[in-house]
Amino acid sequence: MYRQSTAGPAAGTQNHPFGEVEIPHEILRDVSNLVGRLECWLNDVPYDRLVDKIILRDGVIDDPSVDGGLITVIPGDRKIACNRLTLAVSIGTSTASSRGFPRVMRTVRAHLIDCADIAKIVVLLTDTWNPRMNTEHFRDVVAHARKGRYVVPHLVSGKKISMVEWAAR
């Protein structure tokens, strides 16, 4: 099962266990800042429309991250660039859809390998969180965390975004 943070985006002020690795405070701060911005956008549009805007770079995350770096988006129509911060968004569990959780996670895993020296944070937004489905990704995600590359999952429910944790099944 997973444990869910009930403190919302502000929960980034403490370390959360990540498998056997804890996420550093500065990573959680950056995650919290991005999630807070996204949660504000959810007040104006439903999640599926927000995903469209993010993928099309329609004014949602055009601003650089807090540290001034650009944000990579998965999935995206543009060639994936290596940046410190990546935002991955998924809708549903379809394996056929480029926005479905399984394909998004496979792209995230490949991105972390391709950008091993640059990518440090992947903020994963999803409207589906199923520990059985996550089993395929768990070991890779924990291995990346041991190397200082974190996939920090968040579940979107209505206008709320909550951090969830990876868990082995």
DSSP-derived 3-state class of residue 103: helix
* pLDDT per position as a tens digit, 37-53: 999 999 999 999 999 99
Give the bridge partners for 162, in sequence order: 155
* pLDDT per position as a tens digit, 59-97: 666 555 555 678 899 997 666 789 999 999 999 999 999
Q: Where are the beta strands (DSSP E) in the chain?
A: 17-18, 21-22, 71-74, 85-90, 121-126, 150-157, 160-163
> Is 70 exceeded by the pLDDT of residue 144?
yes
> Is 70 exceeded by the pLDDT of residue 13?
no
* pLDDT per position as a tens digit, 115-132: 999 999 999 999 999 888
What is the model's pLDDT at position 62? 58
